[in-house]
Amino acid sequence: MLQAVLEKPKTIVFHEIPIPEPGKDEVLLKVSRIGICGSDIHVYHGKHKYATLPVVQGHEGSGVIAKAGSEVSGLMIGEKVTIRPQLFCKECIMCRKGRYNLCLDYKVIGVLGSTTGMASEYFLIKASLVHKLPQGITLDQGAMVEPAAVAVHSVKLGAAPVGNKTLVVGAGPVGNLVAQAAKALGAEKVIIVDISQERLELAKKCGVDICVNSRDRSLADIIAEHFGSDGADVILDCAGAPVLVEQMVHAARRGTNIVLTGNYYDKVPVELGLVQRREINLVGVMNYLAEDYEDTIRFIARGDMKVDPLISTYFDIKDYNEAYQYIDENMAKVMKVLIKVVIDRTLLTSNQE
């Protein structure tokens, strides 16, 4: 089978390797779609703090079950599935508490911990990390479950969302999905802010209540206009911009939950005295749990979360490098690029080994 290996920054090389056989508790997937996210982009450019090369990428994806191990039950050959790409020890304090997304030996398949991702024709994985896609969900949508599950988990961490007034900062792929997840989980009113009018228009198309261009406006002014003196119950940061953290803290009323979904790679100054006096809760986000996946699949199936509008374009797996080049050249407008795993061996380039 063909496998795409990121051997060094900006260089994906194709190899032919044997198709693996599933162990007793594993399934073999025929891979269909692979999503490229912000973490993948950092890894591709050699700028991810915790990733090592070479690596086979692909932690967002979908496929069809091709084979199943002897002890696998509840999964049938030919079923459409997505994967939950998290490996955990099941023994540490966090795993014992059921918070295995915070495992002391946590690994993200295709990103962290010398793991192998989905960037190949076939992919072997534990059956316990496979989630079935119901009829009506496409393989494209299945590849969007992983980032959407991050959004669902983020909203849940912001306290009980039902009836909340929610502000989402950043209308990129994750911010868009977070805003949709807030609505799906029962938020009374959701505002999303960004400086990209194009991304705000897309959020509006996805059903977000209020979409505001914050280029020349402060978060405090936007909150006051749309939420009044009661302010926001929850602020979800999906931008990862250090300059906005100070704004969020100052814009938060007493008792506001600030959820940090965006990735931060630098130190961020925070006025802790204000956090203390207002009892502001600063909450970090690390991936998701299995129940977040199931909720996400249900939300997509019934149309509460619209993921198709976020798919910007497709590339064949043989054009993996070109997909990253496209993203680099169109960073301001790209939301999600999907890799199609449909192999025509007559078209493979000379970098295949």
**Alpha carbons 226 and 165: distance in angstroms, whole number:** 10
Among 60, 153, 55, smallest CA distance to 112 is for 55
Q: pLDDT digits over 68-122, tens only?
A: 999 999 999 999 999 999 999 999 999 999 999 999 999 999 998 789 999 999 9
Facing residues of 337 across strands?
Answer: 36, 313
The terminus-to-terminus CA distance of the chain in angstroms comes to 11
**Average pLDDT of the chain?**
94
Residue that has been written with the tokens 């490996």 in this structure: 87
**Alpha carbons 312 and 333: distance in angstroms, whole number:** 9
Is the CB of residue 289 less than 8 Å from the CB of residue 101? yes
Which domains are seen in the chain, by residue range? Answer: 2-144+307-347 (3.90.180.10), 152-284 (3.40.50.720)
Question: Is residue 143 scored above 80 in pLDDT?
Answer: yes
Facing residues of 86 across strands?
Answer: 108
Question: Is residue 344 scored above 60 in pLDDT?
Answer: no
Q: What is the largest CA-CA distance in the chain?
A: 66
Alpha-helix residue ranges (DSSP H) falling in the chain: 38-44, 93-96, 139-143, 145-157, 173-184, 197-205, 219-227, 242-251, 272-277, 290-301, 320-329
Q: pLDDT digits over 161-220, tens only?
A: 788 999 999 999 999 999 999 999 999 999 999 999 999 999 999 999 999 999 999 999
Spatial CB neighbours of 221, under 8 Å, sequence gap ≥ 6? none
